[in-house]
Amino acid sequence: MLPDLITPLSVILRENAGRFPDKIAFEDDRHAVTYRELDARTRRLAGHLVGLGVRRGDRVALCLGNSVAMVESYLAVVRAGGIGVPINPQAAPAEMKYLLADSAATLALTGTANAETFLQSIPRAAREVSVVVADALGPDAGHTLPPGTVAYEEIVATEPVTEAPDDLGLDEVAWMFYTSGTTGRPKGVLSTQRNCLYSVASCYIPVPGLTEHDRVLWPLPLFHSLSHIACVLSVTVSGATARIMDGSSADDILTALRENRSTLLAGVPTTYHHLVGIAHRTGLSLPDLRIGLVGGAVTGPGLRRSFEAAFGVPLVDAYGSTETCGAITINPPDGHVVEGSCGLPVPGVGVRIVDPRTGQEVPAGQEGEVWVSGPNVMVGYHNNPQATAEVLQDGWFHTGDLARRDEAGYFTICGRLKDVIIRGGENIHPDEIEAALRGAEGVADAAVAGMPHDTLGEVPVAWVVPGPDGVDLTRLLDHCRTQLSPYKLPERIHEARTIPRTASGKVIRRLLADLPARLRYAADGHYEGLVLRDWSGAAVSSDVPEELRWAVVGRDAVTDGLAAALRKAGVADVRQYADLSTSRTTPDAATYVTVLAEADADTLTSARAGWAEDTGSRLVVLTRGVMGVTDRDGTPERAEVALWAAARAAQADGGHGAPLTIVDVEASTPESEYAEALIAAVASGLPQLAVRDGNLLRPRLVRLPVVDGPDLATPALDGPVIVTGADTKTGAALARHLVTVHGTRHLVLVQATDTVDDRVRAELPADGVEIVRVVADGSNPLALRAALTRTGPVTAVVHTADDPEFARTLDDLTADDDLAAFVVVTDAAALLGAQPDGLAPTVVTAALTEAVVRDRRLRGLPGSLLALGRPDEGPGAFDALIETGTPALMALWPTTINPGDRVRTLLDTLTEQEPRATAQADETITAALRARLADLVERDQLALLGEMIRQEAASVHTHTSAEPTPAGRSFRDLGLSSLAVVELRNRLTKRTGLRLPATVTFDHPTPEALAGHLRARVLGLHEAAMEATGAADPAEPIAIVGMACRLPGGVASPQDLWRLVSEGRDVVSGFPEDRGWDLDSLFDADPEKTGTSYADQGGFLREAGLFDAGFFGISPREALAMD
């Protein structure tokens, strides 16, 4: 602690101007100032600020990026008696306006790029100037500043009329830093010179040993509180030299390190990873560098060791917050290293770990909330007394962070109280999972957030950023399983380009779900709520009921062949009619089938009334090549599509009594090849079927599987994109998604009318995007054609307008463009055939639109169909469609199905099935397996059973890798869910005939072990008759001892414990020598000395060092803490 450094900044500036007059204090890419100049320029700037109307306590916005001007502004506002409010120059205009309004800033210092935003947001009142523009060229360069502004260099170079007051007290508010805003609106943290200089004097100068001889390289953003304290104030106070730069390029940082021969570097973990990589490839050395300060996150042990090995330089990380004006704990560079720890409390800062429910301090090793007290704690939140009262209580700042402390006082941060994921009652900290993910090979960055789960409440979901060589998913999962308990494993893993972080490096978890990311892994193997259509064989009988009379309707040329084929297939009574009206004669059989061999949509619609009361008949509609079952199916005729859509609408409406079946055949298939399948279709009672190669197929909706592979890549959508239906909620939502997520910067927005609903308009992007608005539709596409002539080739088409003709027009207009995507959006209910009003137009529209997509794909062009139920489903489903390249995708989010509810046949694979009945034991199967094993030697018996087990495990596992599962690998490491474990038990019961418990894979946790158990059971190697037991006295006391319990004294069973007690043996011994403990330093006679034991004997578990932590799902870090 260096208390003499807690001195008003005006005094420090004057003193250093005398001590180091010509020494460079701060330097950026364009400008450098000596300590003499720093004192003079900040004094002049402060005087001018007062002259521009800044009064004591007025807020002055500082938005100057990483520049010398930002440093000078920090200091000048204090000398003027104002309150500096730093703002991120990369913030969105809306965020800037919020911060300016919330802070009530009266004046701003900013750059040319943001000057207009500040002019619009800061009230001018009676002032002539409200914005000081730092990078303006000025009148000497022929540049005219806008009214209400003045050039920064003009005023710092000229003497003011009013002198700088230089009288702001140490305990008056000097700065207001807005918090990171990871969970919502940021709050303004008010701090004084004493608050901030205390951190300088107690931590940021003494811990790294910062002196006037140091050359600091600072690429972290200056608007953040860490940079303000550890760079601006610490360098100013110590007399060091700082090179300020933008840290977006790691190569630029390396160049600056060499040019400036920097002794201290500040950076995020990514920066240090990059330097280590260069050192490994090129042998890079940095002989002048003596220390690295890490911001944003605690350094992982691997990075810390790698950096020190490469450069001989320690990395120092700390834990702090904006509200504590810097560090709360820090790892000294020359101190003891505790892996994963953020170090010891800063001298003079009180730190407690308490139970947030009771406020009582928790013992060492237990987790609790961090409370902080000391001169560094903020004054409070600006204009927010309620929030201030919530976190500042009885002199303690409640951080909301969860941590634990070891016996030596080292702190380890576990996560945010608000970030805790509660999975089935178990608390999970995202930070722990993130640390495990970042420690895996190929992962450059990672973030984890909780997502809702119907059964478990919440589950962890991960986003990873791959390194240069990509991420091997199998290795990543294997690594996580060795580091994390099973319930902590991510349910889903997404691959993203970047992780959203605050300027200080904290993960913004609320933004993770909206990231453009590819789903690489899902525990259940499927995307949430997304389905696609599949065709499978329909197992039905082809027997012809003798009482059925068949009527075939159509022209003779069509019906002759079909009627003959039906008779040949076994139908006794087949009659032919030219039209439906003549077929509606009184039947001479109880039931009959009418086949519309040829018809159109109007014929079917008008004929439906004839079946209104006729519930004993069945109507079969034949369509040709409509359903797109195989790649051979060409583009269907429009009349056939309309007929199919009308039939689907009729099925959905239910306005006729007779069951209706749609059977789709290939257009070129002769009647003789599908007659038998037609009979089977009628017998099945299914509503939709297709006949291909004589086989009867049924459509089913199946969940979209997560298919991982290195060849999957999301197409770039950064060029011009056409979005139709921009006047609808779906179109507007997708347009905004293209801009915010996919980086699209040029939109051609097409709408049907000139007017747009205000709510829809609010969804449309506005900032930083070139938008061309066009009024056009399928009947009048001329305006769009003209717009595309000016725009040039487009990258993608997203058609959300309910207009199939327009879809065909778009296909024609973009025929010569190299499209990355052509996505047609339609109504999911219509595609399923649901038609609430009983009319067919929407279903027909959906079918015709789908036909356009099929036609494009047949021509080898991109084309995808996206069926939505609600507009808000669009963005997520769109991303999955683009990522997977699926031809057609439907968003059907889960709903509740009550007992007795009718479920459409197409949806029955998506409904929750009753749990499969437990497989029954069967001695005949066991006997057959026993006979087969009897002919083999023991080794071959185990090999046969092991192969059977691995086959069945693979069949229930949705993420089996291409390599076979090793015999000694545990079932837990395969990631089998509880349902999969039960299913595996059922399958093994069927294969062996044995009655097996559901816990068989836990009792025998590897295929190798389970094979041995099954062999013994099948061959009866361990069967033994039960011994008779006598009656027990109910009054006799009973001691219950766990069978797996192991105790000191060699106790490994209840019998051992009984012998130890009965013999009265002593189990106390000296410290064990097989645990890796530092026995020379562990004992100390002083009971108050931390990190030691004043006892040198105890009851120790024999061979505890052989404990298999991995088998029990305990991470190495947890195992060490337990020991």
Q: Which residues pair with 705 in a beta bridge?
A: 526
Taking the C-alpha atoms of residue 179 and residue 187, their distance in angstroms, rounded to an integer, is: 5
- 66-75, 615-624, 720-729: segment of lowest average pLDDT: 615-624
Residue position matching structure tokens 């024609």: 812
pLDDT digits (tens, 9 = 90+) for 715-730: 778 789 999 998 888 8
Residue 543 — pLDDT band, cuts 50, 70, 90? Answer: low
- Residue 1: per-residue pLDDT: 83
Residue 1028 — pLDDT band, cuts 50, 70, 90? Answer: very low
End-to-end CA distance of the chain: 36
Q: Which residues contact 429 (CB under 8 A, 6 or more apart)?
A: 402, 414, 415, 419, 420, 421
Domain extent listing, the chain: 421-523, 536-701, 704-911, 923-1019, 1054-1120
Reading the block at residue 596, the tokens are: 């519309």
Taking the C-alpha atoms of residue 229 and residue 376, their distance in angstroms, rounded to an integer, is: 11
Q: Which residues pair with 822 in a beta bridge?
A: 797
Quick check: 690 and 538 in contact, CB under 8 A? no
Pairing mode, strands 549-553 and 380-381: unpaired
Residue position matching structure tokens 């061959």: 1019
- Residue 504: per-residue pLDDT: 66
pLDDT digits (tens, 9 = 90+) for 270-314: 788 888 888 888 888 899 999 999 886 667 777 888 899 999 999
Distances (CA, A) of 336 to 302, 410, 744, 1084: 16, 10, 50, 19
pLDDT digits (tens, 9 = 90+) for 635-649: 777 788 778 777 877
Distances (CA, A) of 252 to 217, 244, 256, 292, 295: 11, 12, 6, 17, 18
Q: Which residues contact 43 (CB under 8 A, 6 or more apart)?
A: 13, 76, 79, 164, 166
Residue position matching structure tokens 């005949």: 924
Residue 899 has pLDDT above 50, yes or no: no
Quick check: 393 and 369 in contact, CB under 8 A? no
pLDDT digits (tens, 9 = 90+) for 1065-1110: 677 777 777 676 766 667 665 665 666 776 667 777 776 766 665 5
Residue type, 951: Q
- Residue 1064: per-residue pLDDT: 67
DSSP 777-819: BTTB-HHHHHHHHHH-S-SEEEE-SS-HHHHHHHHHHTTTS--
pLDDT digits (tens, 9 = 90+) for 1030-1045: 555 666 666 666 656 6
Residue type, 11: V
- For residues 515-523, give the mean pLDDT: 82
Taking the C-alpha atoms of residue 639 and residue 601, their distance in angstroms, rounded to an integer, is: 7
Reading the block at residue 805, the tokens are: 């003709």
Region of residue 421 (phi > 0: left; psi between -120 and 50: alpha; otherwise: beta): beta
Quick check: 332 and 346 in contact, CB under 8 A? no
Q: Where are the beta strands (DSSP E) in 844-894?
A: 864-868, 888-891
The CA-based angle 235-237-239, given to 5 degrees, is 60
φ/ψ of residue 676, rounded to 5 = -65, -40
Q: Which residues contact 50 (CB under 8 A, 6 or more apart)?
A: 80, 81, 160, 162, 164, 165
- Residue 724: per-residue pLDDT: 93
Distances (CA, A) of 634 to 622, 663, 700, 848: 17, 17, 21, 14
Residue 412 has pLDDT above 50, yes or no: yes
Q: Which residues contact 786 (CB under 8 A, 6 or more apart)?
A: none
Distances (CA, A) of 197 to 4, 6, 8, 18, 202: 10, 5, 9, 21, 8
Residue 26 has pLDDT above 80, yes or no: yes
pLDDT digits (tens, 9 = 90+) for 483-504: 877 778 898 999 888 898 876 6
- Residue 624: per-residue pLDDT: 84
Taking the C-alpha atoms of residue 1111 and residue 15, their distance in angstroms, rounded to an integer, is: 64
Percent of the chain surpassing pLDDT 90: 32
Q: What is the DSSP letter of 224?
A: S
CATH classification code of 421-523? 3.30.300.30
Q: Where are the beta strands (DSSP E) in 588-710?
A: 592-596, 617-624, 660-665, 688-692, 695-705
Domains 536-701 and 923-1019 share a fold: no
Against a cut of 0.75, is the pTM above it? no
- For residues 735-740, give the mean pLDDT: 84
- For residues 841-864, give the mean pLDDT: 82
- Residue 137: per-residue pLDDT: 47
Sign of CA dihedral 152, 156, 160, 162: positive
- Residue 278: per-residue pLDDT: 87
**Which of 3.40.50.450, 3.40.50.360, 3.40.50.11460, 3.30.43.10 would CATH assign to domain 536-701?**
3.40.50.11460
Instruction: Return the C-alpha torsion angle 294, 299, 302, 305, nearest 10.
Output: 50
Residue 914 — pLDDT band, cuts 50, 70, 90? Answer: very low
pLDDT digits (tens, 9 = 90+) for 216-258: 999 999 999 999 999 999 999 999 999 999 876 777 888 899 9
Domain 923-1019 has CATH 3.40.50.410: no
Residue position matching structure tokens 């190929």: 442
Domain 704-911: CATH architecture, name and number where available: 3-Layer(aba) Sandwich (3.40)
